[in-house]
A and B are shown apart, each in its own frame.
Chain A
Amino acid sequence: MDTPGSEHIVSLEKFSIGHQQDQILLSDINLTVGSGEMVALIGRNGTGKSTLLKSMIGLLPFLGGACHLNGKLIARYDLPSRARLVSFVSSQISQLPSLTVGEMVALGRLPYTGWMGRMDQSDHALVDQALEEVQMASFAGRKLDMLSDGERQRAMIARAFAQDTRLMVLDEPTAFLDIPNTFDLIRLLSRFRDGGKSIVYSTHDLETAMQFADKMWVIHEGKIFEGAPEDLGLSGLFDDLFQSSGISYDQQSGRFLLKGPSQGSVRLEGKEDQAKAWTVSALYRLGYKVDSQGSIKISIQPSSAGYQWIVEKDGDNLSFSSLYKMARFLIQGN
């Protein structure tokens, strides 16, 4: 170790952020991002996620403490050299210029080109590579306003990739995306991480983050917690996080549950297959726990039409051809 924090691409010490001195959002922040790490920043709306990300990379002024980027104080960077170290993708762009995808991605080369912005062979190659990485090579000639939300976000990420930085910071990159697009996008980021980049992104999607992030930063009640997703789960932080919101984190299943009155427990029999997993899912949704002492017994059996569910409850013995019908029965039976 030569200089303090040199193995970290980002290191925050006693860092504090906010809009003005009298409006401090978070203070005494001590966090690091390792080289080649993916960090997910979690927190409720208005807790300062965007402000933290932007302050950390110099897009907003910070209020106190120190921020080292790649072992050097952020204030020591001039803007072009900082732009060669960190790229940024914002949560939205309010107005789309009538650029093509290719032109927009090429903007990522701005920190490298001369005052006339001439791109050489290697610049063009990197732009092409960026488009390949996000699987949008065939979109290069398309105008930005013709893209779907998912495509546009991937194009914005391609621009950041073309900026060829060791650190990529993304503010809610999945905010407007559906579940498959969200998953694809985070997987894309994790591929960048595997390629050696450090990634920091903010999100509300805890489940995807838990599957991909090396580390999480969780903002809760004015403090920020750092750790592997599992460390934070083990510490019970997620229970606290959702306590007031009517959602609970089930340590056993690793799922988030809407807290409702418990309906009792169910003894479930059947092969360990998809049908069982989905049945568990349906029971959780209805507020039932699954254990071996349940007063209700449900067995799953293959049938000519797929599956059937046989429910033994209060001496009744009924068979259902779909989970929907079974669920209606369980709800009405109470």
Chain B
Amino acid sequence: MYFMGLLLIILALIDLRLGSIRISLGEMLGQLWGREMLSDQQMIILTKFRLPRLATALLAGAALPVCGLQMQTLFRNPLAGPYVLGISSGASFGAALVVLGAGATGIAATWSLALAAWIGAGTVMLLLLFVSYRIKDVMTILILGIMFSSGLAAVISIMQYFSQASALKSFVIWSMGSLGNVTASQLSIMTWAISPVLLITLAYSKVLNGLMLGEEYAASMGIRIERTRIIIFATTSILAGTITAFCGPIGFIGIAVPHMSRFLFKRSDHRILMPATMLTGMVVMVFSDIVSQLPGTDRILPINAVTSLIGIPVVIWLVIMNRKAQAL
């Protein structure tokens, strides 16, 4: 855990250094100590661009894996995650309605984007909840999630076809995922939406442990199933919806990171696993951000491509190496 924390700090500092304008570590630390080491231009770049970008990476890195972990435990399926189950697609659909349909701008757009993504994510979650009551087979739920996301993708592409060129362009850029396009007001919404929800999920770690044997056992051990489901679904919708709204759909972090932290920390106790997953997620996300900036060049890759390339091998490893895919 300490090692991961240290790794996170190192990666965060590397991340802050990256970019076309050179800002050295010494200068940043000096500034932190109150000395005037940085020029105004450097300060603007640091506070307006690089720090918000880092903060976004940290929030997304903590939030998405928590969604994945909660889904994996609730559905008792190692392949569950916000992206795979179509929750990110629901959020995308909400966002697409705002970006492609309404074309709203400004602070109203920021809020409506978040709200639409929450509603989109929440709707898919409700559908999954409804289906999971009737169908116990986790594979079926997974396939339905994939169908939901494909269906929504189809609807979104129809909307794209009929939308205006400028709206289309901003939507396509959004859908590639970006940590850097988050405005100050968006960042504050993200922070206020995500931080308290992360605290709630930490407080529910014990309950998640109880769910590991299934809902019947959980109920027999005094866990209020209905309330727990609602909490898990609401927190997942808010977390995945918020990140998707402002950063675009970021794939495979949600599904892969919980497994990475299970592997690294060798524990299945959620009281450890939950913070461990947040920490691992932040490390992976900041690392992905560094990779996406292609150090040494002035080009930036879409973050979604990087996270997918990191996450997919983990999922493949999970499916192939871990033959007992039902074991969480």
Query: Does A115 touch B at the CB level, under 8 Å?
Result: yes
| A86 and B220 contact, Cβ closer than 8 Å, known pairs A95-B326, A107-B213 | yes
9 contacts across the A-B interface (CB closer than 8 A): A84-B222, A88-B216, A90-B217, A97-B212, A98-B327, A104-B213, A107-B209, A110-B206, A116-B205
Q: A99 to chain B: which residues have CB within 8 Å?
A: 212, 268
Complexed CA–CA distance, A84 and B221 (Å): 8
Residue ranges of B at the interface with A (Cβ–Cβ < 8 Å): 76-77, 136, 138, 203, 205-206, 209-210, 212-214, 216-217, 219-224, 262, 268-269, 271, 324, 326-328
19 A-B pairs besides A93-B214, A98-B328 with CB distance below 8 A are A58-B219, A59-B219, A79-B224, A83-B222, A87-B221, A88-B220, A90-B216, A90-B217, A95-B326, A95-B327, A95-B328, A97-B268, A97-B328, A98-B327, A99-B212, A103-B268, A113-B206, A117-B206, A117-B271
| A97 and B221 contact, Cβ closer than 8 Å, known pairs A115-B206, A145-B324 | no
Inter-subunit contact B206/A87 (CB<8 Å): no
Inter-subunit contact A95/B76 (CB<8 Å): yes
Inter-subunit contact A83/B221 (CB<8 Å): yes
The residue in chain A whose Cβ has the minimal distance to the Cβ of B137 is A94
Complexed CA–CA distance, A81 and B220 (Å): 11
Q: A104 to chain B: which residues have CB within 8 Å?
A: 213
Residue ranges of A at the interface with B (Cβ–Cβ < 8 Å): 54, 57-59, 79-84, 86-88, 90, 93-99, 103-104, 107-108, 110-111, 113, 115-117, 143, 145, 163
Q: Which of A54, A57, A107 contacts B210 (CB 8 A)?
A: A107
Chain B's nearest CB lies how many Å from the CB of A53? 11
Complexed CA–CA distance, A96 and B326 (Å): 7
- Please indicate which of the listed interface residues B136, B205, B216, B220 has the most CB atoms of chain A within 10 Å of its own CB: B220
Chain B's nearest CB lies how many Å from the CB of A321? 50
Complexed CA–CA distance, A98 and B327 (Å): 5
Q: B219 to chain A: which residues have CB within 8 Å?
A: 58-59, 79
Chain A's nearest CB lies how many Å from the CB of B172? 40
Inter-subunit contact B217/A97 (CB<8 Å): no
The residue in chain B whose Cβ has the minimal distance to the Cβ of A165 is B220
Inter-subunit contact A59/B268 (CB<8 Å): no
Complexed CA–CA distance, A96 and B136 (Å): 15
Complexed CA–CA distance, A145 and B324 (Å): 9
Q: Which of B205, B217, B327 contacts A145 (CB 8 A)?
A: B327
Interface residues of chain B: helix, strand, loop or mixed (majority): loop
Q: B223 to chain A: which residues have CB within 8 Å?
A: 79, 110
Q: B222 to chain A: which residues have CB within 8 Å?
A: 79-84, 110-111
Inter-subunit contact A107/B220 (CB<8 Å): no
- Please indicate which of the listed interface residues A54, A83, A88, A110 has the most CB atoms of chain B within 10 Å of its own CB: A110
Complexed CA–CA distance, A86 and B222 (Å): 10
Closest 8 CB pairs of A and B: A83-B222, A117-B206, A88-B220, A80-B222, A97-B212, A111-B222, A98-B327, A79-B222
Inter-subunit contact A116/B271 (CB<8 Å): yes
Inter-subunit contact B214/A94 (CB<8 Å): yes
The residue in chain B whose Cβ has the minimal distance to the Cβ of A58 is B219
| A107 and B221 contact, Cβ closer than 8 Å, known pairs A94-B214, A97-B327, A99-B212 | yes
The residue in chain A whose Cβ has the minimal distance to the Cβ of B215 is A59
Chain B's nearest CB lies how many Å from the CB of A230? 32
Complexed CA–CA distance, A118 and B36 (Å): 48
- Please indicate which of the listed interface residues A95, A99, A104, A107 has the most CB atoms of chain B within 10 Å of its own CB: A95
The residue in chain A whose Cβ has the minimal distance to the Cβ of B224 is A79
Complexed CA–CA distance, A108 and B217 (Å): 10
Q: Which of A79, A103, A110, A115 contacts B269 (CB 8 A)?
A: A103
Q: A95 to chain B: which residues have CB within 8 Å?
A: 76-77, 138, 214, 326-328
Complexed CA–CA distance, A84 and B222 (Å): 8
Inter-subunit contact A110/B268 (CB<8 Å): no
Inter-subunit contact A98/B209 (CB<8 Å): no
Inter-subunit contact B220/A59 (CB<8 Å): yes
Inter-subunit contact A115/B203 (CB<8 Å): yes
Q: B268 to chain A: which residues have CB within 8 Å?
A: 97-99, 103
Chain A's nearest CB lies how many Å from the CB of B202? 9
The residue in chain A whose Cβ has the minimal distance to the Cβ of B326 is A95
Q: B76 to chain A: which residues have CB within 8 Å?
A: 95, 97
Chain A's nearest CB lies how many Å from the CB of B185? 34
The residue in chain A whose Cβ has the minimal distance to the Cβ of B210 is A110
Q: A57 to chain B: which residues have CB within 8 Å?
A: 220
Q: A81 to chain B: which residues have CB within 8 Å?
A: 222
Complexed CA–CA distance, A110 and B328 (Å): 20
Q: A111 to chain B: which residues have CB within 8 Å?
A: 221-222
Q: Which of A58, A97, A143 contacts B213 (CB 8 A)?
A: A97
Complexed CA–CA distance, A115 and B328 (Å): 23
Complexed CA–CA distance, A113 and B210 (Å): 12
The residue in chain A whose Cβ has the minimal distance to the Cβ of B217 is A90
Complexed CA–CA distance, A104 and B209 (Å): 9
